[in-house]
Structure 1
């Protein structure tokens, strides 16, 4: 492991003060998430009849109290699917209501500037917030559950030999097989991939939320994906909540090469390409023995001067790729933000949201918006994708 890479090998111990600060932070965030929509829809200047305000207040209060309990039960150690589905859906709904409630308050201010009296302006803003939120949630649910569109991108790699010019690499990532049963969706994704005549198919992690035993049927269609040269996989951060080594072993059973800090090569027409993979950047702190991002191990023994495609789950791992003269890193993790405007928060942690970007004279990065979705079953202004990368030589 080189300087600048993660060096943690044990999970951090939680200190009482840190736990209290975390609990207070989460509590404050939840009060905002639920409180702002309550104020916009039930309070503010709406002047609703007393019983309406009481009912709305009780509904929001019950939702606020139930949400953390459902989230803990659903996404805790036991991965209970029923509570997880309810909590995830609640999170998506309240996020949309929160965002559009803020916009609704600004709209009400504009109405006030134009002389619209209260309570009419507040009620107009409330109806607008509810209408937009419902439309976006219905549309976002359909976008999340659909089979992703194919996104086709050509990537020039100057070191790629002429024999491999036109190599077709299909990228899947962030399938997040989870509490909503999606075996049929998974089969349809496989059918689409198999129409693309792939030379290489790569999965860059976050395969599932849950253990192999819980998500086996959803992952099963991965065994039927076809590639003429290689099928390769690396772990994402969610594997480290869901039995990472079990998923590495299971992908091997399904016939995929688990690039657990290692590489394979593909050759055609006298040209060779190194396809390497590193563990997710959270692996070192997960406590899973032998898991950490190690670029040097992944590239050990690779022929000097050969072009390198690196699988790394998070775009934030690009510094290691640059340091090791990788030609192209392929990643996921961001989901393209998944639910607007969450992408602004994603950009605080990641250098890129989606698409092809350059990070040095020799290193490019392609970041997928993801094949599935995490948590809330909604995608709003962040469509999913199956990516076909066509590699071009100089």
Structure 2
């Protein structure tokens, strides 16, 4: 289905942008081949160089392919808008405006603008994220945890694009915050344990007084899931698979629970189970839930969770597109949401999948959440 959409997209651009160019036929033919190749590059890479989840190509090649692909999407959107306006003006018989919109270099100019925007988006996707500070009021939070600082990392996506040096930068920025607890809410990596060994190694250097707690996202399953669980635990992380741990301070406690990801169904692994995750938890200890996807927030609130930390959405990647991403995730895409008495925080993520590596108006983040006691 994705290939069909890509072919339709490429054909539209070839007909509306490439063929009308006042260039020699061989040049236009070459541009047409380039457009089709970029539109289908995920399938091509999966066939010859790794997989769609983990393209095993040099960083600059991945960045160039990603920039070209996003440029195609933006060009298609801009040209479609121009064509719709042109059709409206034709219906209204606005001949002067029509002549402008039919100018031979307008659509190629729009393509150049899209390429520049895409290059900017790729650059923003590859920078070490800034720290975002959030205060989260929680009713019934024990006084001992008022001011407790939880650092959330999510969607790190260590890969051939976001390599070990970048991960080391994320770790250094995280450790500098001196948070009480570090949690990682899934999608740590793209690829196999062997392929990513050097890229994930810096994660072993994460430090916090109450440790590092992680859950899985959907991308861990695209590698060898069990191998990754062993690898993360060998790095000193407590990985929660429908389980919880207790964090204590001055005689009070929080329950930190974590669930797996629904994509587990494809790989014969345990499906997410909030009831199993909190079974046996201290009823006096407020529950903080780590759930990679925000979509089940309302159901989780019914189980007594006071704070859910999620990622998965990457904040929607591009301003405007975030509304579409929100619709696919229960209405949640980025930031803090009150949900039926529970607080939900959806992080934009530190990194992103190399197959859609762009951030335009949606910055990456390392999040420090300071818990605050709110009166009931």
The TM-score with structure 1 as length reference comes to 0.84
Q: Could you say what secondary structure the match of 2:340 adopts? A: coil
Of residues 353, 372, 375 in structure 2, which corresponds to 1:392? 372
Higher mean displacement: 53-62 or 220-229? 53-62
Counterpart position of 1:193: 174
Indicate how the Cα distance of structure 1 residues 71 and 41 shifts in structure 2: closer, same or farther if over 3 A, else same.
farther
> Structure 1 pair 273/78, CA: closer, same or farther in 2 (3 Å)?
closer
Identify which range, 257-266 or 86-95, moves more after superposition: 86-95
Identify the residue that residue 26 of structure 1 maps to in structure 2.
2
The answer (yes or no) to whether the contact 2:38–2:68 under 8 Å persists in 1 is: no
After TM superposition, what 4+ stretches of structure 1 lie above 6 angstroms from structure 2?
none
- Of 332, 336, 357, which residue of structure 2 is paired with 1:356? 336
Q: In structure 2, what is the equivalent of residue 368 of structure 1?
A: 347
In the TM superposition, residue 168 of structure 1 has moved relative to its aligned partner by 0.4
Tell me how far apart the structure 1 counterparts of residues 29 and 283 of structure 2 sit (CA, whole Å). 71
SS in 2 for 1:169: strand
State whether residues 210 and 242 of structure 1, in contact with CA within 8 Å, keep that contact through their aligned partners in structure 2.
Answer: yes
1:71 counterpart = 2:46: yes
Deviations 1:186-221 (A, max 9, x none): 111111111111101000111111111211111111
Shift of 1:120: 7.8
Q: CA separation of 1:78/1:262 partners in 2, compared to 1, >3 Å: closer, same or farther?
A: closer
| Aligned residue number for residue 56 of structure 1 | 31
- Which sections of structure 1, spanning at least 5 residues, go unmatched? 1-24
Q: Is structure 2 residue 310 aligned with structure 1 residue 331?
A: yes
**What is the aligned residue count?**
366
Equivalent of 1:272, from 236, 253, 258? Answer: 253
Residue in 2 that maps onto 1:173: 154
Report the CA distance shift for 1:175/1:205 in structure 2 as closer, same or farther (over 3 A).
same
Q: Which residue of the partner structure matches residue 324 of structure 2?
A: 345
Partner of 1:208: 189
Q: Which residue of 2 aligns with 1:102?
A: 77
1:247 aligned onto 2:223: no
Give the TM-score normalised by the residue count of structure 2: 0.88
Quick one: distance in 2 between partners of 1:78 and 1:176? Answer: 10
Aligned residue in 2 for 1:294: 273
The 2-side partners of 1:32 and 1:78 are apart by: 23
Partner residue, 1:303 = 282
Q: Displacement, 1:319? A: 3.6
Alignment check: 8 A CA contact 1:40 1:105 kept: no
From 90, 95, 99, the counterpart of 2:65: 90
What is the RMSD computed on CA atoms of the aligned residues? 2.6
Asked whether the equivalents of residues 246 and 254 of structure 2 are also in contact (C-alpha less than 8 Å), the reply is: yes
Is the Cα contact below 8 Å between 1:157 and 1:391 reproduced in 2? Answer: yes
Distance 2:315 2:272 in 1: 23
Distance 1:383 1:77 in 2: 24
